[in-house]
Amino acid sequence: MFPPNNTPAGSTPPNPAQQQQTQTPDYLTKDEFNRTAAFIRGMNEKLETLTKSVPTMDAFVSMGLFEKADDGSYKVKAAPAPKPTQQQQQAADPEWKAEIDKLNTQLKQRDDALVAERRRAAETEQRSADLAAANADLEQRTAELTLINGVQQALASQLDLQAIFDLVGDKIRDIFDAQIVDIGIYDRDTGLLHFPYWIERGVRYPSEPIALFGIRKHVMETRQPLVINSDVMQDYASYGFPPMTWGEIPKSLVFVPLVVGDEAKGYISLQDLDREHAFSDSDVRLLSTLAASMSVALENARLFGETRRLLAETEQRAAELETVNRIGQALGAELELAALIELTGEQIRQTFAADIAYVALREGESNLILFPYYYEHGARSSDETMPYGQGLTSQIIMSGKPLLLNERIEAFEAQTGIQPIGPRPNRTSACRSWLASGRSA
């Protein structure tokens, strides 16, 4: 088919060759048309084949998938109820239901019995653990009591204070794994704290007395144990203890007071230089018991010492009275002066057990001091004389008063300007004037 000739009349028809070069054709070529037609036929054949393979709604009805209503509509057919299983059928049967309930009851009873048995087993295990802990604690307490009894028996035989300090300190050092054992005793008269026992890393150190302050003061005032198992320096500062500038800083420490009645007499301290949390409650309990035993021993020793002191004073007073009575009897017998001086000198020497004893008389005419009785280190001498006005003897005769010097004799001589004459006593010089006829003789 070709396009109609629309060339207007009278015009010159276009050149076909020129038209082919300048204008695109508006229609398919024959080959293109044939290919398109063949493609359309193929698609129609495939569509017809696909249409034949799709089932109709009636086919779905016959398959049991849809139901056709009276009005010609279709709906999905409900699925049939599932057939009950044998177990469901048995459960619906009363006899089987009773058997199942019975079995469930038995199973529950068995489960309850198992739970109860497990509970009893757990309780038995806990009781066994508690019993083991109690036995361990009992063994520890028994060991502590044995140790305490041994210390108490040893203390009962000690009445010397330093021996008590050494005994308890050494025992504590053996028991506890601590590098420092410190025993302090407070002297309320001087306000100073003394250290009769101080050992650090196995070395025994003498220590000078110090003022009471810091943790020691706190323990003495509260009369309660104090345990610091960590951050020792922080606690030191809270108790007013100055920063340490010497020695090792402990990592753990415990202080226990030594209490007699209502008064703290001192303390026992353990200090660990290597470990924190070094002291347990049982350690504090044992140390407190040892401190109580030591407090009793110290009080007994103090009472024994006081008794000995009073007994010594009583014996001394008795000796003094005996001496006075003998001299009084001699005076009453109107003995000669030489015999009376001899008796008096011997009684004084024996009573005071002095290394040097003498009786001095001032002779007014010669202005000399005579020594009719002179005893020095087991030797007698009666030829000693000295000018009146020199030495302590002249000072005593001039003052007419007793003089007692138990220490620092050199300082007294320097202070008074007295020049010593003759041998100097080693420790004590006791001199008294002898008054007769209302004047120094």
Chosen domain end from 273, 306, 339: 306
Report the pLDDT value the prediction gives residue 138, as an integer from 0 to 100.
Answer: 62
* 300 and 354, same domain (yes or no): no
Tally of structural domains, the chain: 2
Q: Per the domain annotation, does 21 fall within a domain?
A: no
Determine phi and psi for 368, rounding to 5 degrees. -115, 160
Residue 431: what pLDDT? 45
The reply to whether 378 and 242 lie within a common domain is no
For residue 254, the model assigns a pLDDT of: 92
Alpha carbon distance 80, 433 (integer Å): 144
CATH of residue 186:
3.30.450.40
Do the strands 180-187 and 263-272 form a parallel or antiparallel pair, or are they unpaired? antiparallel
DSSP label at residue 277? S
Q: How large is the greatest C-alpha to C-alpha distance in the chain, in angstroms? A: 209
**60 located within any domain:** no
Do 402 and 292 lie in a common domain?
no
Residue 89 lies in a domain: no
Give 333-401 as a 3 state SS string. CCCCHHHHHHHHHHHHHHHHCCCEEEEEEEECCCCEEEEEEEEECCEECCCCEEECCCHHHHHHHHHCC
Q: Which of 306, 327, 361 is the last residue of a domain?
A: 306
The CA distance from 92 to 288, in Å, is 78
Neighbours of 167 (CB within 10 A): 19
Asked if residue 375 lies in contact with residue 356, where contact means CB atoms within 8 angstroms, the answer is yes
Give the Cα separation of 52 and 391 in Å (integer): 161
Q: Verify that 165 and 293 share a domain, yes or no.
A: yes
Task: Compute mean pLDDT per 10 residues along the chain, 441 residues long, and list them.
Answer: 43 49 57 81 72 67 73 72 66 71 85 88 83 69 65 65 83 83 90 91 85 89 91 81 67 91 89 90 87 82 81 82 77 73 81 81 83 83 77 80 75 66 45 36 44
Range of the domain at 200: 148-306
Based on C-alpha coordinates, what's the Rg of the chain? Answer: 62
Note whether residue 389 is domain-resident: yes
Q: Are 284 and 175 in contact (CB under 8 A)?
A: no
**If you count them, how many residues does the chain have?**
441
The predicted structure's pLDDT at residue 140: 62
Same domain, 285 and 155: yes
Does some domain include residue 163? yes
In one letter, which amino acid is 266?
A: G
pTM of the model: 0.47
